[in-house]
A and B are shown apart, each in its own frame.
Chain A
Amino acid sequence: MITIRNLVYRRGSKTILDGVSMDIPRGNMVAIMGPSGVGKTTILKLISGQLVPDEGTVEVNGKDIHKLSRAELHKMRRNIGVLLQNGALFTDLTVFENIATPLREHTDLPEPLLRRLVRTKLRSVGLAGTEELMPHELSGGMARRIALARAVVLDPAVMLYDEPMTGLDPIAVSTVRTLMRETNEALGLTSVIVTHNVGEMAKLVDYCYIIAEGRVAGEGPPGELQASADPAVDQFMNGKVDGPIPFHYKTGEASAGLLD
């Protein structure tokens, strides 16, 4: 379903991704994990076509995302739901209108049906009754769940989640996890979840990729990974300070200077 081959992505002189390959089969839930700043959001943006890679390809449904024309890309994106890391709700629209926007744009649903659909989605993220609030009246966790409801409202074939659980209380985490699981099962949807929350993901996903230093450091079902002998994987999965993954932000000059 999603095939990523040898993705290389640079920002200036800094190589962020250095040959990442992944296979995400249809109907699977796959997590991309790794320490903060390693390039997880970048991978997601490369999959959704917001960024263009320096080398390598991303195929969704057999089509190279970065070779599509503008119109084709738009068509493709109707089938891709994205939850951005900061939610990105439309600040001038009510919660209801936020969720209704994709429906109004891409479907001809009559108003009563549209209302019912939006209510259903709101209930599934545990926020029924917030229809008339404005985004600035929501807490961070509420906004994130509204954004999630908006992302799944068109029933896309592919869902990309950027940190869906961060900043949520335990009850909301369960609600969101159930929603993600259910949408995935009901529709045979392919989900890619970017996160650094190891514990939550183990309960949810079929397969994990761990990114470290611009490459895939380890992959496999969560259970296998937790028992992995690979030092980088072990360090990340079990949260150890010592190991091959450096904790500090690395730049060429800074580390060279330190060695002198």
Chain B
Amino acid sequence: MASREQAIARRLGPIARAGQCVVFLFRMLGSIRPSSELLSSTLQQTYLIGARSLVIIMICGFFVGMVLSLQAINALEQFGASDQVSLLVGKSLFRELGPVLTALLFAGRAGTSVTAEIGLMKATSQIDAMELMAIDPLKTVALPRFLAGLISVPLLTGMFNALAILGSVVFSIGVMGLDPGIFWSKLETGIYFGKDFMGGVWKSLVFGGLVSLISVFYGYTSQPTGSGVGTATTNTVVLSSVLILVFDFIMTSFFV
């Protein structure tokens, strides 16, 4: 019951709130019943979330690729190794910058709107109305948005990386006049599928789950008022950003 959860949330500290969030996650996952409605609403949300974030992710990816190449060439030139630029750019992108920056951008662009959307549904009693119709809002509102985020972040990360490589190509080859053959062969031989590529995919999956869970949870437990929804939206960005970076460090130090 939404109002009971909300009353509890107001009284409890951050640790209890984290516990509440985990319970929320399990209840949400427990409501999964494979059905065509779940599939179609998840796809619809994926489309909406993807469409919201795609342009900003592509633009940022392109410029990150350019600036990375600029810095890399500047540094590598001192050792006469500027033909290694694609290797450096590729490794830092696939392992770190791609997943992390995409997740951060995703939190700011899509996470906030999910929180605001659910918070508003709550403030206008739509969530109550669902409960009263014996429709589980966790299943119909929270779950599709959570799954959509989980799917979108890895896909968007791929998009980010692709555009960053493009940015690097434009800058290194187009502007700095590097040899395209060397650029691509370094990239091909130096990037390992398991360690570099899959490592990034795992990260982006974890970040996607994290940001989506936080967005949905904060929306669902927001105070049903204008300022309550505003606070919840801000909290989504802040907490997502911090946790992305913390989890990034943990995952990197253990698995990569």
Hey, which bits of chain A sit against chain B, CB under 8 A? 48-52, 74-75, 77-78, 80, 82, 84, 86, 88-91, 101-102, 105-106, 154
> Please, which residues of chain B bring their CB within 8 A of the CB of A82?
129, 132
Let me know if B252 is at the binding interface, CB within 8 A: no
Residue B175 at the chain A interface, CB threshold 8 Å: no
Whether A84 contacts B134 in the complex (CB less than 8 A), given A50-B3, A52-B4, A91-B124, comes out as no
The reply to whether A88 and B129 form a contact with Cβ atoms under 8 Å apart is yes
Q: A88-B124, A88-B126, A90-B129 are in contact. Are A102 and B135 (CB under 8 A)?
A: yes
Cα distance, A13 to B129, chains bound together (Å): 28
The answer to whether B83 has its CB under 8 Å from any CB of chain A is no
| CB < 8 Å neighbour of B136 from A48, A49, A52, A74 | A74
Chain A residues within 8 Å of B126, by CB: 88-91
Given that A86-B124, A88-B124 are known contacts, is A77 also in contact with B129, CB under 8 Å in the complex? Answer: no
- B15 on interface, CB distance cutoff 8 Å: no
B188 at interface, CB cutoff 8 A: no
Question: Using Cβ atoms and an 8 Å threshold, which residues of chain B touch A91?
Answer: 120-121, 124, 126
Q: Quick check: A101 and B125 within 8 Å, CB to CB?
A: no
Q: Which 6 residue pairs are nearest across A and B when measured between Cβ atoms?
A: A88-B125, A88-B129, A77-B134, A74-B134, A82-B132, A78-B134
B131 within 8 A of A: yes
B129 neighbours in A (Cβ, 8 Å): 82, 84, 88-90
Given known contacts A49-B1, A50-B3, what 4 new A-B pairs fall within 8 Å (CB)? A74-B134, A82-B132, A91-B121, A101-B135
Q: Which residues does chain A contribute within 8 Å of B121, judged by CB atoms?
A: 90-91
**Which residue of B132, B134, B136 contacts A50 across the interface (Cβ within 8 Å)?**
B132
Which of A50, A86, A154 contacts B1 (CB under 8 A)? A50
Majority secondary structure of chain A interface residues (helix, strand, loop or mixed): loop
Nearest CB of B to A136, in Å:
11
Prevailing SS type, chain B contact patch: helix
B234 CB to nearest chain A CB (Å): 23
CB-CB under 8 A from A77, the residues of chain B are 131-134
Q: Does B248 contact A (CB under 8 A)?
A: no
Report B132-149 residues with CB < 8 Å from chain A CB. Answer: 132-136
Select B128's contact among A50, A52, A80, beta carbons within 8 Å: A50
Please, how many angstroms separate the alpha-carbon atoms of A51 and B128 in the complex? 11
- Chain B residues proximal to chain A, CB less than 8 Å: 1, 3-4, 120-121, 124-126, 128-129, 131-136
A105 vs B38: C-alpha distance in the bound complex, in angstroms?
12
- The total number of A-B Cβ pairs within 8 Å is 50
- Bound complex: CA A125 to CA B157 (Å): 50
CB contacts (< 8 Å) of B134 on chain A: these are 74-75, 77-78, 105-106
- 15 A-B pairs in the complex with CB atoms less than 8 angstroms apart: A49-B1, A50-B1, A50-B132, A51-B3, A74-B136, A77-B133, A86-B124, A86-B125, A88-B126, A89-B126, A90-B126, A102-B133, A102-B135, A105-B133, A105-B134
A101 with B132, Cβ < 8 A, contacts A52-B4, A84-B125, A91-B124 known = no
Pick the contact of A105: B4, B124, B135 (CB < 8 A): B135
Task: Report the minimum CB–CB distance from A59 to chain B (whole Å).
Answer: 18
B54 → chain A closest CB, angstroms: 21
| Complex Cα–Cα for A90 and B128 (A) | 11
Whether A101 pairs with B133 at a CB distance below 8 angstroms is yes
In the complex, are the beta carbons of B135 and A48 less than 8 A apart? no
Complex alpha-carbon distance, A82 and B132, angstroms = 7
What is the CA–CA distance of A54 and B29 in the complex, to the nearest angstrom?
32
B132 proximity list for chain A (CB < 8 A): 48, 50, 77, 80, 82, 84
Q: Which residue of A lies closest to B125 (CB)?
A: A88
- A154–B124 Cα gap in the complex (Å)? 22
User: For B128, what are the chain A residues with a Cβ–Cβ distance below 8 Å?
Assistant: 50, 84, 88
A86 to B224, CA, bound (A): 14
In the bound assembly, the distance between CA atoms of A106 and B1 in angstroms comes to: 20
Give Cα A102–Cα B135 distance, bound, in whole angstroms.
8
A80 to B129, CA, bound (A): 12
- Min CB gap B51→A, angstroms: 16
Cα distance A115–B129 when bound, in Å? Answer: 22
Q: How far is the CA of A50 from the CA of B122 in the complex (A)?
A: 14
Report the separation of the CA atoms of residues A86 and B128 in the bound assembly, to the nearest whole angstrom.
11
How far is B131's CA from A50's CA once the two chains are assembled, in angstroms? 9
Most buried by A among B124, B134, B135: B134
Residues of B within 8 A of A90 (CB): 121, 126, 129
A77 to B128, CA, bound (A): 12
> With A and B bound together, what is the CA distance between A50 and B120 in angstroms?
19
